[in-house]
Amino acid sequence: MKTVYYLQPSSFCFGVQKSIQELEKLIADNPKKKIYCIHELVHNPRISKYLKDLWVRFVQSIYDVYDQDAIIVFSAHGTNRVIISQAEKKFEHVFNLECPFVTKIYREADAYLKDGITTFFYVGKYHHQEGKNIVEYLLSHNVNIYVFDNSKNIPQIDKKEKIGILSQTTLNYQKTKEIFEIIRKKYSNAIFPAPSDICKATYERQQVIIDNINKFKTLVVIGGKESNNGRELYEIWIKSNKQTIFGESLADVMQLQKKELFENETIAVTGGASTPKEDIQEVVDFLITNWYKKEILTLGK
Ligand code: SF4
């Protein structure tokens, strides 16, 4: 029987939902003010378009904004606190709409700094907005920071060094756990975040794939190209050498991988934490119209 498995949970997480709702409220409460969002609020093209249609302006830096009465909004990915203070000096209305799970990491970083720690390991990706921003924040305190997301790149430093460990919220849960274990064995003075910096939404979206991995042969992941949690879902599956399809929408999949979409009779569909439900539903519905029967798959008990 041809089956399309709709994986749950998928789509928006609590943090993404919260950031979007807070920005919608700011828009509704301030019809006469210009609103500037520094970088994408969340990494999804449909959401960015929706916000642009509501007249939100996206810019790369606070220095791209010349209207002092404008509202400045910082994204869900978290922002270097030095930049936030600069914005607060320059503008009257500044709102940090970061996810509370990212705030937790800044709090941990501040606690390490307060303890006098001067060496940090950041397990994450510097080119991603979340990683870049916290790394730059730490660098503004003149500390040594090593950034890596692979056990092969764990730095070799003095074994007695006191090290503050942090990680990006959206990495592969299992891989990060293994990296932490290696660091723990090697550096007895390393201090780890409790319980983990990887958020529940990331963990659950990965785990539902792992729990059901033998039930389907193709995985379709719908998500923004910049979305790290979407990419991590894709990579879990790709490592198992099965067929994986990644796109921002059904149109994207049809354009690039239409033939591959129908190669297998069992297909699972999911989306990252910043993917709107409609984008995932569109793929599921398309498969239903092509004689696939829909089933929901959830986390294993
Ligand atoms: S994926 Fe996690 S850290 Fe990122 S916005 Fe969602 S809940 Fe927050």
The topology under which CATH files domain 14-98 is: Rossmann fold (3.40.50)
Rg (CA), the chain: 21
pLDDT level of residue 194 (50, 70, 90 thresholds): confident
Q: Is 258 exposed, middle or buried (0-12, 13-18, 19+ CB in 10 A)?
A: exposed
Question: What CA–CA distance (Å, rounded) separates 282 from 12?
Answer: 15
Classify domain 101-191 at the CATH topology level: Cobalt-precorrin-4 Transmethylase; domain 1 (3.40.1010)
**Fold of the CATH domain 3-12+200-297:** Cobalt-precorrin-4 Transmethylase; domain 1 (3.40.1010)
Determine whether the shortest distance from the Cβ of 72 to ligand 1 is under 6 A. Answer: no
> Rounded to 5 degrees, what angle do the CA atoms 162, 124, 167 make?
50
Give me the pLDDT at residue 71, please: 98
Tell me which of 48-57, 68-77, 156-165, 189-198 is least confident.
189-198
- Asked which of 6-20, 52-66, 163-177, 253-267 is least confident by mean pLDDT, the reply is 253-267
**Does the beta carbon of 274 sit less than 6 angstroms from any atom of ligand 1?**
no
Our answer on whether the CB atom of 101 is closer than 6 Å to any ligand 1 atom is yes
- Ligand 1 center from residue 49 Cα (angstroms): 20
Q: Same CATH fold, 101-191 and 14-98?
A: no
* pLDDT higher than 90, residue 300: no
Among the ranges given (49-58, 144-153, 259-268), the one the predictor scored with the smallest mean pLDDT: 259-268
Residue-range domain boundaries for the chain:
3-12+200-297, 14-98, 101-191
- Rounded to two decimals, the pTM is 0.95
Mean pLDDT of 136-148: 98
Provide the b/e sequence for 110-130 (b: ≥16 CB within 10 Å): eebbeeebbbbbbbbbeebbb
Binned at pLDDT 50, 70 and 90, residue 137 comes out as: very high
- What is the per-residue pLDDT across 59-68, written as a single tens digit (0 to 9) for each? 999 999 999 9
Asked if the model's pLDDT at residue 239 lies above 80, the reply is no
How high is the pLDDT of residue 181? Answer: 97
User: Is the pLDDT at 301 greater than 70, yes or no?
Assistant: no
Please give the average per-residue pLDDT across 131-151, as a whole number: 97
Range 92-100 average pLDDT: 98
Nearest atom in ligand 1 to the alpha carbon of residue 12 is 6
Cα–ligand 1 centroid distance for 148 (angstroms): 20
C-beta pairs of 65-70 under 8 Å, 24+ apart in sequence? 65/36, 65/91, 67/34, 68/92, 69/33, 69/34, 69/93, 70/33, 70/34, 70/35, 70/36
Tell how far the Cα of 196 is from the centroid of ligand 1, in angstroms: 13
pLDDT of residue 122 exceeding 70, the answer is yes
pLDDT exceeds cutoff 80 at 237: no
Nearest atom of ligand 1 to the alpha carbon of 99 = 8
- Beta carbon of 201 within 6 Å of any ligand 1 atom: yes
State if residue 229 touches ligand 1 by the CB under 6 angstroms criterion.
yes
